[in-house]
Structure 1
Amino acid sequence: MDRRWGPEPTGEGRARFRLWAPDRKTVTLEIRGEESFAMEPESGGWFAVEAPADVGTHYRFRLAEELAVADPASRRQDGGVHGWSVLTDPDGFAWQTRDWTGRPWEETVIEEVHPGVMGGFAGVAQRLPALAELGVTAVELMPVGAFSGTRNWGYDGVLPYAVAASYGSPDELKALVDRAHGLGLMVFLDVVYNHFGPDGNYLGAYASDFFDEHAHTPWGGAVAVAREPVRRFFIDNALMWLDEYRIDGLRFDAVHAIGDDEFLDAMAQEIRAKLPGRHIHLMLENEGNDPDRLKPALYDAQWNDDFHNVLHVLLTGEREGYYRGFAQDPTHKLARCLADGFIYQGETPPGSDHRRGKPSGHLPATRFISFLQNHDQIGNRAKGERLSLLVERERMRAATALLLLSPQIPLIFMGDSEGSRSPFLFFTDFHDELADAVREGRRGEFAGFAAFSNDKA
């Protein structure tokens, strides 16, 4: 595939390096232990140079005397997101399941897992036989892109082409996928294309046009996906996971915060055009309950928060925060959810000034992914309680039966099948002022829940 981001081997121990740095007049390629190379300016703000480099070569870009940065399309890092990028061989892994083409969407039963909590990629791989025996058909990994520190949910990633070193190496992730395919399991990956984390993202220092100065997300600056280099960065990233790592599907995080439907359409269309002959599954998280992208040529399905929210109200009696919109006649709302997918299909929820959603009853039930809980719905509670801690066992069993027997695609969270009662809390590896800022940001984001007003939360 043609790519403009990231190094490209040119043969005989050489590679071509590129960087989009429209805010800079000069950029230098530094190779650890070797000489440096002045990069040549090209049209559109690009810089490029061909230099001696082989697999394992450590490199970075020098922008000024006091600032050297990793390749934003680095496949592997040494020394974390502030360290050196490492040249890899994307085709060097010896796949044992090259004939695998995936499974039809209608067969999907998902377990969502956090790779770090499970012991890294190797730990997840050890868990796969038990999942296959259980009846799970797809393992969904929370984001694996490199982030600052060693512990994170994954949504603070800053180098989305590089796997987080604390989870394992690129080849260890490929080994996980290979073993899953050998067991008949699909592997899905959560990707974040709406923002970058707060530490280790240097794009603003040399490519301020990467961001949309007129937009913002709750988690940081909004990316300007309407600009071609930015669009290419994310579409090529999606293709990398699906092609080089043979991932079976992607879940796109919070696409309502991207704000560019044309980008979402173009990305799905290019993915399907470039990867024919495989069951590739594309999933959305979209708080707006917008079903317009849910069609075979674009996206397979969408996470359905409505299912979780109304069942949570019925099971726990909680009414605060976003549960307020599901407190009135929740039984009727659940029936609508099971029949039509979304509960809100253009109505205005209580406490809101805006209509939410569009009609969805015409869609197949398999366009909706339902869950009793996931990383958000557990970890965004002040104390990280699982539903199994909040309700009686009989209610939990009844709700689980409804989830698994409904015609929508079911998703369970790691530990659900064992009846785990262990909390799953939000966590990062930030310190000092940044940790305080994240803490206060979350307190503001979930101000509708009384528990977040507690200083100990």
Structure 2
Amino acid sequence: MPLRTLETSPHGAIMLDAQHTRFALWAPDAFYVSVELEHGKSIAMLPQADGWFEVETACPAGTLYRFNIDGERAVPDPASRAQAVDVHGWSRVVDPHAYEWRHSQWQGRPWHTAVIYELHVGAMGGYTEVEKHLPRLAELGITAIELMPLAQFPGERNWGYDGVLPYAPQASYGSPEQLKHLIDSAHAHGLAVILDVVYNHFGPDGNYLGQYAKGFFHEDVHTPWGAGIDFERREVRDFFLDNALMWLLEYRFDGLRLDAVHAIDNPGFLKELAQRVREQVDSGRHVWLMLENELNQASLLKDDFDAQWNDDFHNVLHVLLTGETDAYYNDFAEQPTAKLARCLGEGFIYQGDITRHGHARGEPSADLPPSAFVAFLQNHDQVGNRALGERLHQLCSPQALKAATALLLLGPMIPMIFMGDEVNAAEPFLFFTDHHGELAEAVREGRRNEFADFAAFHDPEQRERIPDPNALPTFLQSMPSFVENDHAQLYRHLLSLRHLHVAPHLPGAVALGAQVLAEGAVTARWRLGNGSLLQIDLNLGELPLDHPAPRHLIFQTPAEQGAQLPPHSARVSLSPAGEHF
């Protein structure tokens, strides 16, 4: 597969043939740049227009190299395809064609068939260990795995959002070839593979771009992680656009989830990324593009992106299931049942409404199909951003969780499951890093101070119970066990019903509205693409309701309900086309 030719040079080390490599670095603030090879050879790079430095030299795959800026400091390649050890050391020349694909005819899966399983590669033991779970996940009814970010980060343990070398898969998880083998094996099991990518910031340790390419950043734009990235610059845009294409073309990922695009605040870049992907990927392939976006920009979901993670769905259900209203749950504390009905009937809850923090948020979304929203009861954020990493089954009644799971897996939004959800894993998922020195201390104290506004952690002594992110046991505690149990059987049953009755008919599905039945109880209906009518009645309240069961039930919990909708219950019915409820 030939690499595409760009108007500007591709960033990094690009192999020209088996023995020759072109090195390119955008360093507009440098006077002199050389590439240093592992055995002491230093080669001056030739200055080009617009701040580029380039050189072509004899250099086979596997060679270790780094750049030297002005003879004063050695830095890794910001577009390194692999690191020898960590973010500060040598980069490695990679041949993108060395891996021999076993399932090269794989074309992906249609979006409407997606059942996504989000996982952390490190917490599951690395690329080869994740591969061992593929048969189990496929049998469960999962159709796609989503890997939390892989970009090389400092140390050996991290959620992945502190990555500083976006082109280099994390070395502590395995080699680039082992990552490709995981993807290849997933395709053999009929599983698509999605990658979470972070284009809104770099991590706090190991990013050297500001030393020789200050124009990469926009000092007047601030994000929670520092100066904003200047996406108006062609060189910067291409750095990330080429990265997206590398994952999709070289590694054959089936989709990308773009993290926190509200911190990018450049719709032009997002639209160009989507356009480039659609142009470069073979027309026969199914490639999915998803967003995380606090701004709820429904306009981005009309033509450019397939879906957005629907935090509104999670947040309002969490309030109803647990009664918690701290922090971001506070925006869902008032009239949560009405908010859930709006979510089921229109997609987003916040569609330009003013939050309790006084900010307008969102755009109208009622005209979007249900499949434009990725729904979840938990994800890495909503578990890991809890002080003690508790999972939902430890916070609410098992009956209510079972009912909410039925809504998730049989509703027409695209369901996502977080690793361990399917077995109610006892292990927490904690926030973990592998920083050292002053940064480690700052991260530890910053993490504990985040929870000062939570009722359970007002007292500083209480916050001392929050695990140290840098301690190895914090990471080890976050490695879930996967013991088969009744909850796994529930997932297996519900997903078999989804694949039989719901997923095939999602194209053309439309919401018909949702109504509040009582506090904590709603009913929602959708017309599927084949004309059948899907209805879900959900009661997360404490009182039974007089609400006779409709005909054509396909699932209910508890199993025996009669004419009432009991507390902590759900019913799902599917009426054939042309027949009313």
Could you state the TM-score of these two structures normalised by the residue count of structure 1? 0.97
Tell me which structure has the larger Cα radius of gyration.
2
- What is the aligned partner in structure 1 of residue 73 from structure 2? 67
Q: Does 1:429 align with 2:434?
A: yes
Gapped regions of structure 1 (runs ≥ 5): none
Q: Does 1:238 align with 2:241?
A: no
Q: Which amino acid aligns with 1:294?
A: L
Q: 1:321 aligns with which of 298, 321, 327?
A: 327
For 1:148-178, what per-residue CA distance to the aligned partner results, in whole angstroms no more than 9, with x for missing partners? Answer: 0000000000001001011111011100100
- What is the aligned partner in structure 2 of residue 188 from structure 1? 194
For 1:403-449, what per-residue CA distance to the aligned partner results, in whole angstroms no more than 9, with x for missing partners? Answer: 11111000010001111121100010012210222234445555543
- What is the aligned partner in structure 2 of residue 377 from structure 1? 382
Q: 1:292 aligns with which of 293, 299, 314?
A: 299
- What is the aligned partner in structure 2 of residue 400 from structure 1? 405
- What is the aligned partner in structure 2 of residue 112 from structure 1? 118
**How far 1:90 sits from its partner (Å)?**
0.2
| Separation of aligned partners in 2, 1:164 and 1:359 | 39
Q: Which amino acid aligns with 1:312?
A: H
Q: Does 1:154 align with 2:160?
A: yes
For 1:386-414, what per-residue CA distance to the aligned partner results, in whole angstroms no more than 9, with x for missing partners? Answer: 10111121111111111111110000100
- What is the aligned partner in structure 2 of residue 455 from structure 1? 463
| Separation of aligned partners in 1, 2:59 and 2:394 | 54
Q: Does 1:167 align with 2:160?
A: no
For 1:248-296, what per-residue CA distance to the aligned partner results, in whole angstroms no more than 9, with x for missing partners? Answer: 000000000001000000010011011022101000000011111002x
Q: Does 1:391 align with 2:396?
A: yes
**How far 1:34 sits from its partner (Å)?**
4.3
Q: 2:30 aligns with which of 1, 11, 24?
A: 24
| Separation of aligned partners in 2, 1:12 and 1:102 | 30
| Separation of aligned partners in 1, 2:319 and 2:387 | 17
**How far 1:64 sits from its partner (Å)?**
4.0
Q: Percent identity?
A: 59
Q: Which amino acid aligns with 1:231?
A: R
Residues matched between the structures, number: 455
Q: Which amino acid aligns with 2:316?
A: V
Q: Does 1:2 align with 2:12?
A: no
Contact 1:81 1:158 in 2 (8 A): yes
**How far 1:12 sits from its partner (Å)?**
5.9
Contact 1:382 1:451 in 2 (8 A): no
Distance 1:120-1:452 versus aligned 2 partners, 3 A rule: farther
- What is the aligned partner in structure 1 of residue 274 from structure 2? 268
| Separation of aligned partners in 1, 2:295 and 2:310 | 10
| Separation of aligned partners in 2, 1:405 and 1:128 | 23
Contact 1:321 1:446 in 2 (8 A): no
Alignment of 1:208-287 (within 5 A): 208-275=214-281, 276-287=283-294
Q: Which amino acid aligns with 1:285?
A: E
Alignment of 1:303-322 (within 5 A): 303-322=309-328
| Separation of aligned partners in 2, 1:315 and 1:158 | 37
| Separation of aligned partners in 1, 2:188 and 2:349 | 39
What SS does structure 2 have at the residue aligned with 1:117? Answer: helix
Q: Which amino acid aligns with 2:76?
A: A
Gapped regions of structure 2 (runs ≥ 5): 467-581
- What is the aligned partner in structure 2 of residue 125 from structure 1? 131
Q: CA RMSD in A?
A: 1.3
| Separation of aligned partners in 2, 1:287 and 1:52 | 48
Q: 2:82 aligns with which of 73, 76, 82?
A: 76
| Separation of aligned partners in 2, 1:101 and 1:187 | 12
Q: Which amino acid aligns with 1:127?
A: H
| Separation of aligned partners in 1, 2:451 and 2:298 | 26
Q: Which amino acid aligns with 1:109?
A: V
Q: Which amino acid aligns with 2:102?
A: Q
Distance 1:232-1:191 versus aligned 2 partners, 3 A rule: same
Q: 1:95 aligns with which of 97, 101, 108?
A: 101
Q: Which amino acid aligns with 2:463?
A: D
Q: Which amino acid aligns with 1:281?
A: W
| Separation of aligned partners in 2, 1:11 and 1:101 | 28
What SS does structure 1 have at the residue aligned with 2:123? Answer: coil
- What is the aligned partner in structure 1 of residue 569 from structure 2? none
Q: Does 1:364 align with 2:372?
A: no
Q: Which amino acid aligns with 1:227?
A: R
Q: 2:421 aligns with which of 416, 421, 425?
A: 416
For 1:180-225, what per-residue CA distance to the aligned partner results, in whole angstroms no more than 9, with x for missing partners? Answer: 1011100000000000000110001110111111112112331111
What SS does structure 1 have at the residue aligned with 2:353? Answer: coil
Contact 1:315 1:391 in 2 (8 A): yes
**How far 1:455 sits from its partner (Å)?**
2.9
Distance 1:190-1:446 versus aligned 2 partners, 3 A rule: farther
Contact 1:211 1:224 in 2 (8 A): yes
**How far 1:358 sits from its partner (Å)?**
1.2
**How far 1:335 sits from its partner (Å)?**
1.0
